[in-house]
Amino acid sequence: EHLRKDFPLRTVRLFGPPRAVHAVEDASLALYPGRATAVVGESGSGKTTVARMLARLYDPTSGVIRFHGQPVDLKARGQALRTYRRHVQLIFQDPFASLNPIHSVRYHLSRPLRVHGHAHNRQEETEQILALLRRVSLTPAEQFIEKYPYQLSGGQRQRIAIARALAVRPEVLLADEPVSMLDVSIRLDILNLLLRLKDEEQLALLYITHDIASARYFAEETLVMYAGQMVEGGPSEEVTQRPKHPYTQLLLSAAPDPDRMMAGQKLQLPARGEIPSLINPPSGCRFHPRCPHAMEVCRQRFPRRTQLGNGHWAHCFLYGDGDGEPVVSARLKT
């Protein structure tokens, strides 16, 4: 709730206050068992930082993380942090970097089993590793257990990374762009695997991606981030089929959807420019330098959340300032 993350810059300044990268501002989201939530945005939107705060790899600058409704102690270290991480696991983007090349599959999967006390002897450990390999569809499992990362394809490595996360029986799985570094031909297989595991294990799944088209397929809820701010969210069908925020429309224009094209729906695009510097982000709505609908008020402050019906919401003055009434004002850009 209301997570904020600033990364202080180490450069020494003679004048003015210390500078920081304002990576995430006021981000809130909820995850539920058996449901997937997608966080979508370009590089630099803050989506990975949100996942890393939830995984407790980064300490939030401010905000609250709750687990089963109870506030998590953000100062906790040692055993308390390990216990939290047993429940909340993160899968990284790069399967080539997330496995140690000098260790076998057995080693990678036995460590979490041992650390969290799920295996008490080697035979038990072997049985559990084989079961994990089967759960991620690496079969026959006996052929994979003694292999090394260099003997595996990118997709197989990502399956090992998923198996390693499952080894500690987590309740929450945070998948940070889990397929973006994989061959296009196997991306769907990995996404389908995550979907199956989510259903079978009733995992609460956070899916971080820059691909809004896959969010619709993969997640029940989609949240869109731009330059550290959450700008639109709701049921994935609503957000991807009836996007309201101009930035969501921009993202969708970069990911053509066959259904949308069949329906003949047009989007008002493209917007100019790139994601702004987060050291000195634009005032108000951070999208205003790129937005074809920007108004004077957009420069002055960030709009409150407007509910658009069916659980769909947006932070945009085109839909009012929390009240659903469009803000009429002189436009800066057309």
Q: Which spans of this chain sit near ligand SF4 (rule: CB under 6 A)?
A: 245-246, 285, 287-288, 291, 293-295, 298, 303, 316-318
Of 175 and 251, which CB lies nearer to ligand SF4 in the complex structure? 251
Of 62 and 268, which CB lies nearer to ligand SF4 in the complex structure? 268
Least spacing, CB of residue 302 vs ligand SF4, in Å = 8
Least spacing, CB of residue 41 vs ligand SF4, in Å = 14
Least spacing, CB of residue 174 vs ligand SF4, in Å = 28
Of 251 and 295, which CB lies nearer to ligand SF4 in the complex structure? 295
Least spacing, CB of residue 99 vs ligand SF4, in Å = 41
Least spacing, CB of residue 331 vs ligand SF4, in Å = 9
Of 92 and 287, which CB lies nearer to ligand SF4 in the complex structure? 287
Of 56 and 288, which CB lies nearer to ligand SF4 in the complex structure? 288
Of 192 and 277, which CB lies nearer to ligand SF4 in the complex structure? 277
Query: HEC states along the chain?
Result: CCEEEEEECCCCCCCCCCCEEEEEEEECCCCCCCCEEEEECCCCCCHHHHHHHHCCCCCCCECCCEECCEECCCCCCHHHHHHHHHHEEEECCCCCCCCCCCCCHHHHHHHHHHHCCCCCCHHHHHHHHHHHHHHCCCCCHHHCCCCCHHHCCHHHHHHHHHHHHHCCCCCEEEEECCCCCCCHHHHHHHHHHHHHHHHHHCCEEEEEECCHHHHHHHCCEEEEEECCEEEEEEEHHHHHHCCCCHHHHHHHHCCCCHHHHHHCCCCCCCCCCCCCCCCCCCCCCCCCCCCCCCEHHHHHCCCCCEEEECCEEECCHHHCCCCCCCCCCCECCC
Least spacing, CB of residue 286 vs ligand SF4, in Å = 8
Distance from C-alpha of 106 to C-alpha of 147, rounded to nearest angstrom: 8
Least spacing, CB of residue 215 vs ligand SF4, in Å = 19
Of 100 and 277, which CB lies nearer to ligand SF4 in the complex structure? 277
